[in-house]
Amino acid sequence: MTNNLLITELVNKHGRERSSLIPILQSVVENESFISKDRMRQIAKELDISAADVYGTASFYSFLDVEERGKYVIRICKTVICDMQNRNEVLKAIKGMLKISVGETTPDKKFTLLETNCLGWCAEGPAMLINDKVHTQLSPEKIRLILHDYIQEKTKQV
């Protein structure tokens, strides 16, 4: 959705109060995958708050992306239990296969690689998310199979 139409729609749905900010930001991410600076300015205007306030909130929460991401966002757990379960080998396999480092997106905009705190799957670590789908008990070999499916678009997770 272009121009201010999306924001107008979201403000009508969630309201103009300060407490509407997070639901509006979440909806922007659902619609456009990230919150652009233009969107932040539009939201600030609609809610009558500063753009800095909107940016501060958006950048505080890791689930509110303020940068454009790839179609598939990989979030590999960096917390200690996964770390003790060879997550570094898994990370190395992902980097090697996609030829990107943490924080980067592949040139074709298909994958973004990020780290995250504990995903709650410690007993089955190392764990990662690809968009909303959790992958557990990872190994370099399993990474090759999983990513191969995403590269081939064989996965149902889109």
Nearer to ligand FES, 7 or 82 (CB): 82
Nearer to ligand FES, 96 or 120 (CB): 120
Smallest separation (angstroms) from ligand FES to the CB of 140: 17
Find all residues with CB under 8 Å of 49, minimum gap 6, and list them: 18, 21
Smallest separation (angstroms) from ligand FES to the CB of 156: 23
Cis previous bond, 23, omega within 30? no
Smallest separation (angstroms) from ligand FES to the CB of 45: 40
Nearer to ligand FES, 53 or 83 (CB): 83
Q: Which amino acid is at 125?
A: G
Contacts 24+ apart (CB under 8 A), 46-50: 46/7, 46/8, 46/11, 46/16, 47/11, 47/16, 47/17, 47/18, 47/20, 47/21, 48/16, 49/18, 49/21
Smallest separation (angstroms) from ligand FES to the CB of 115: 10
Nearer to ligand FES, 92 or 109 (CB): 92
The residues that touch ligand FES, with contacts defined as CB under 6 A, are 77, 79, 81-82, 118-122, 125, 127
How many CA atoms lie less than 13 Å away from 11 in the CB half-sphere? 17
